[in-house]
């Protein structure tokens, strides 16, 4: 499973920075929430949204339609992935993830076709995601569909608002084929988006009259929301202009910066663990930075930069990393043992590379942790270990005198070659 954050990929050109490891964008993790939860937060922040109700059964979906009181509504699968409108149910390709309905019975039928089923979209991968709930939202008079997204541009050290006339389509495709159709405005987080910036964007989007006034209210509110909630990304696709000139968020894809969650403990209640990779949740509970990937070589490294380099060099020598795992500078025996349990629980893992540069965490500490982990977990696949840094000789001696079956490596290149060969064998 490789999470896809199209906006971050576009802005930061992550694959250009790490060209050898296409899956390396995965470590850019943040807490995601569902569309309906995002719209609840939007409403509090003054960002216009339509009325809607969550449903966890077909009967609840029918009741939600009746409660809305309109002649049309939309039933939307709630999963942590985009592209739901074009997504399909695995065993029923005719069933889409977003369905327009005109009666309570149609709402019931749409929900029945989605709930408990596996939805596959462009962002879920072939395995898809199980739909546990649907959002029944009121319809509206759509005059235009636009795109809006905000991320933090690290090069500019400030948020960047991006808009496009190409709403309702795959923004990844627009960014790749017609990047000139995406218009950007960086803004000062302390000041927010300014009026002249809204006017510039409205001119490029062809928005005028009452819609321009609505755009000012909407864009300034969403930019303020992004900062106030410490978002990593906020995406609305489509953002619509109604027949009366109002601007409304017809979607809400929001992720929050994990490092800022101590300021927003109420947001942690919105976390849906059923949408997350179980091994990643387990690692997070143990204080480990872990992301599951699709390769067969497990990586246990201290330091995010070294972990990225390790994945790159494995890829360079013909292997595929099975994960990103940073045990951090203060790793102890308990964390290393749990790290091995997580790595070895992956049936695709055919070998493990331990790449440690001892600084805060001495090589002797890591060696002791490896010895303890071997007794507790038991290494069932080839283990290549490269130690360097503080107390490296002592650490190597500890491993050599232990009963742990280790393939020693002299440097990172040697380690990569040995683990690729061992995993292939």
Unique residue bearing structure tokens 């500078």: 329
Has 316 been annotated as catalytic?
no
Cα separations in angstroms, 403 against 121, 322, 391, 406: 48, 26, 20, 9
Backbone phi, then psi, for 118, in 5-degree steps?
Answer: -100, 120
Hey, is 217 helix, strand or coil? helix
Q: Is 128 annotated as a binding residue?
A: no
Q: Is 87 annotated as a binding residue?
A: no
Sign of the alpha-carbon dihedral angle for 295, 298, 300, 301: negative
Hey, is 414 helix, strand or coil? helix
Q: Is 251 annotated as a binding residue?
A: yes
Beta strands at 158-164 and 73-77: parallel, antiparallel or unpaired: unpaired
Q: Is 360 annotated as a binding residue?
A: yes
Q: Is 83 annotated as a binding residue?
A: yes
Sign of the alpha-carbon dihedral angle for 56, 61, 66, 68: positive
Q: Is 76 annotated as a binding residue?
A: yes
Q: Is 84 annotated as a binding residue?
A: yes
Beta strands at 383-389 and 351-358: parallel, antiparallel or unpaired: parallel
Question: For the CA atoms of 299, 304, 309, 311, what is the dihedral angle to 10 degrees?
Answer: 30
Cα–Cα distance measured from residue 263 to residue 37, given in angstroms and rounded to the nearest whole number: 18
Catalytic residue (choose from 235, 246, 280, 338): 235
Beta strands at 383-389 and 407-408: parallel, antiparallel or unpaired: parallel
Residue 16 is given by DSSP the state H
User: Cα Rg for the chain, rounded, in angstroms?
Assistant: 24
Cα–Cα distance measured from residue 383 to residue 403, given in angstroms and rounded to the nearest whole number: 13
Hey, is 136 helix, strand or coil? strand
Beta strands at 231-242 and 253-256: parallel, antiparallel or unpaired: antiparallel
CA 35 to chain centre: 14
Catalytic residue (choose from 10, 147, 229, 290): 147
In 3D space, the residue among 424, 413, 425, 422 whose CA is nearest the CA of residue 314 turns out to be 413
Quote the Cα angle for 97-136-258, to 5°.
75
Cα–Cα distance measured from residue 142 to residue 119, given in angstroms and rounded to the nearest whole number: 26
Q: Is 69 annotated as a binding residue?
A: no
> H helices of 251-303, where?
278-285
Q: Is 342 annotated as a binding residue?
A: no
Q: Is residue 388 within 8 Å of 358, Cβ to Cβ?
A: yes
Q: Is 185 annotated as a binding residue?
A: no
Q: Is 97 annotated as a binding residue?
A: no
* Residues of the binding site for substrate: 302, 359-361
Active site members: 147, 235
Residues forming the annotated binding site?
A: 76, 83-85, 137, 140, 145, 237, 251, 302, 359-361
Give the annotated binding-site residues for Mg(2+): 237, 251
């Amino acid at each position: 499973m490789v999470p896809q954050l199209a906006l971050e990929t576009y802005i930061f050109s992550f694959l250009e920075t790490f060209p050898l490891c296409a899956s390396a964008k995965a470590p850019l993790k943040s807490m995601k929430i569902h569309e309906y939860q995002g719209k609840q937060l939007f409403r509090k922040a003054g960002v216009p949204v339509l009325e809607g109700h969550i449903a966890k059964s077909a009967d609840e979906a029918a009741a939600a339609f009746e409660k809305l009181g309109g002649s049309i509504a939309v039933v939307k699968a709630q999963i942590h992935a985009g592209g739901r409108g074009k997504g399909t149910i695995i065993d029923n390709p005719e069933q889409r993830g977003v369905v327009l309905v005109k009666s309570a019975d149609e709402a019931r039928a749409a929900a029945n076709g989605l709930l408990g089923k596996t939805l596959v979209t462009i962002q879920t991968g072939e395995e898809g995601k199980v739909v546990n709930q649907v959002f029944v939202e009121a319809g509206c008079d759509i005059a235009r569909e636009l795109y809006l997204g905000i991320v933090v541009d690290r090069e500019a050290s400030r948020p960047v608002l991006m808009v496009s006339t190409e709403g309702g389509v795959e923004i990844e495709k627009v960014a790749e084929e017609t990047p000139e159709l995406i218009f950007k405005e960086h803004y000062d987080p302390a000041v927010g988006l300014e009026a002249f910036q809204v006017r510039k964007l409205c001119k490029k989007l062809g928005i005028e009259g009452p819609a321009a006034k609505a755009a000012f209210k909407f864009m300034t509110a969403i930019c303020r929301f992004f900062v106030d909630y410490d978002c990593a990304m906020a995406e609305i696709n489509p953002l619509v202009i109604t027949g009366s000139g109002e601007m409304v968020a017809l979607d809400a894809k929001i992720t929050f910066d994990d490092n800022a969650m101590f300021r927003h403990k109420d947001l942690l209640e919105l976390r849906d663990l059923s949408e997350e990779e179980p091994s990643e949740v387990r690692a997070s509970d143990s204080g480990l930075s872990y992301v599951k990937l699709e390769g067969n070589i497990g990586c246990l490294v201290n330091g995010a930069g070294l972990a990225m380099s390790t994945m790159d060099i494995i890829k360079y020598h013909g292997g595929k990393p099975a994960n990103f795992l940073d045990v951090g500078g203060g790793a102890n025996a308990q964390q290393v043992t749990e790290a091995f349990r997580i790595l070895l629980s992956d049936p695709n893992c055919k070998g493990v590379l331990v790449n440690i540069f001892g600084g805060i965490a001495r090589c002797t500490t890591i060696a002791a942790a490896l010895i303890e982990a071997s007794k507790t977990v038991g290494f069932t696949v080839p283990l290549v270990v490269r130690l360097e840094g503080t107390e490296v000789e002592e650490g190597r001696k500890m491993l050599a005198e232990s009963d742990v079956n280790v393939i020693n490596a002299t440097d990172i290149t040697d380690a990569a070659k040995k683990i690729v060969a061992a995993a292939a064998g």
